[in-house]
Amino acid sequence: MNEVTKIDRLLIVDDEKNVADTLRNISCNLGYAVKVADNIATFRKLERDFDPTVILLDLQMHGNDGVEYLKVLAKQKSSASIIVLSDTENRTSWTTSQLGSVLGLQMAAMLQKPISIHALRRELRKLMHGSTPLTAARLSAAIKVGQVRPHFQPKVTRSQNGSWQVGEVEALARWYRSDGSIVLPDNFIELAEDSGLLGGLTDSMLQQVADQLGRWNKQGHRVRAAVNLSPTLLTDRKLPDRLERLLGKHGVENNQLILEVTEQVVIEHTQATIGVLSRLRAKNIGLAIDDFGTGYSSLEQLYRMPFDELKIDHSLIRRCQSNKDIRTIIEAIVILGQKLGMTVCAEGVETADAFEFISGTGCDKQQGYLIGKPVPAAELEMLIGQTMSDLRATRAIA
């Protein structure tokens, strides 16, 4: 199955490569086929040959401003929906958008730089026509009928003899659509948040993960599984008891479940959530602080909150080989977490060099595409208990 169905065509008009790459990644993940133009000559050719259905247009292009691009589109009688991007004042963007409308163009939206990823995804979803659009009603129905299911990404833990062994997994949601495509969570988590479905989605994932852990236990595969916890559940005082009953029903020990909470959520909900988190830890359910290193949590918050695992954000791990300061930060985070009594996990480990560096820091766990991608439960079973040496032998990891 294809994880993304590419039907709608998006043309990005921006001469800042980093910005264009970010816009391309977001758009591709939503299901767009994407081309990039960084000058007016390339734009003219792609507008004719690629025939975009949507155009992301930066008004501040070197050499030619956005108005020149709009004139080209008007001359070609383009029917594409146009989203204007600008880092100038809103009035200038509004005037340009009005000009586009006068020229007979389909002006869909104006977005201010730095661009909100949430707003961009929302606007791009609205403009998709080639594939069935992702809507709250469709997502709600998918959750109810079991079309949103967990894939499991393996994690390796350092053993006493120094080897790394698969004994934990992270459950990551996948939406299996009736057209045969699989939608990644980046494309529907915000939709779930906006429509009040995130709590129900998390409950469904917890139930499916508990059921799978029970199945693995019966097969002799005792593993731990992590699930991302919705912020909407952090103030639910009944959650600890409900989870304990759920795990018991499936023959799963409490410490086989790990709940992951992002650093940003901790910052915003410290007072409201500490009681629920403390009760979860009292029941021996694992708690991990996720995406650490991207927010601004204080050391006081770290020791006050009852976490037993700290996960270093993948954005740091992916830059560790090219940036000495990043390596120093990672080493400090490992020491900090362990001094506070937590195990430390590195996310986003994708290369052998990164794996070796993380191993040298004393980090306890590693997770990423080098170890394994998220896969259905049946495929994951083959990895349980394997060491990195086993993985290297079977998958030719350098």
Percent share of the chain, pLDDT over 90: 56
Looking at the domain assignment, is residue 1 inside a domain?
A: no
Among 10-19, 64-73, 204-213, 312-321, the least confident range: 64-73
117 and 203 together in one domain: no
Tokens matching residue 157: 């833990």
Alpha carbon of residue 382 to chain centroid: 25
Q: What is the pLDDT of residue 263?
A: 74
Q: What is the pLDDT of residue 91?
A: 61
**Per-residue model confidence as pLDDT tens digits over 326-380:** 999 999 999 999 999 999 999 999 999 999 999 999 999 999 999 999 999 999 9
Q: What is the pLDDT of residue 3?
A: 40
pLDDT tier at 2 (50, 70, 90 boundaries)? very low
Looking at the domain assignment, is residue 187 inside a domain?
A: yes
Of 105, 49, 96, nearest to 77 by C-alpha is 105
Looking at the domain assignment, is residue 131 inside a domain?
A: no
**Per-residue model confidence as pLDDT tens digits over 29-84:** 787 889 999 999 999 999 988 889 999 999 887 777 788 899 999 988 998 999 99
Full DSSP string of 52-68:
-SEEEEES--SSS-HHH
Q: What is the pLDDT of residue 180?
A: 76
Q: Among 126, 153, 172, which residue terminates a domain?
A: 126
Looking at the domain assignment, is residue 186 inside a domain?
A: yes
199 and 112 together in one domain: no
Sheet containing strand 106-112, strands side by side: 33-37, 9-13, 54-58, 81-86, 106-112
Q: What is the pTM of this model?
A: 0.74
Q: Is the pLDDT of residue 297 over 70?
A: no
Q: How many domains does the chain have?
A: 2
Residue 31 sits in which domain range?
A: 9-126
Over residues 153-176, the mean pLDDT reads 94
Over residues 256-264, the mean pLDDT reads 90
89 and 171 together in one domain: no
The DSSP bridge partners found for residue 150 are 173
Q: What is the pLDDT of residue 201?
A: 96
First and final CA of the chain: distance in angstroms? 28
Yes or no: say if 78 and 105 are a contact pair by the CB < 8 Å rule: yes
Q: Is the pLDDT of residue 158 over 90?
A: yes
Computed over every residue of the chain, the mean pLDDT equals 88
Yes or no: say if 143 and 200 are a contact pair by the CB < 8 Å rule: yes
**Per-residue model confidence as pLDDT tens digits over 179-217:** 777 888 877 888 898 899 999 999 999 999 999 999 999
Angle at which helix 90-102 crosses helix 66-75, to 10 degrees, equals: 10
192 and 88 together in one domain: no
CA 391 – CA 370 distance, rounded (Å): 9
Q: What is the CATH number of the domain that holds 28?
A: 3.40.50.2300
Residue whose tokens read 């956005």: 66
Looking at the domain assignment, is residue 111 inside a domain?
A: yes
Q: Is the pLDDT of residue 224 over 50?
A: yes
Over residues 254-281, the mean pLDDT reads 84
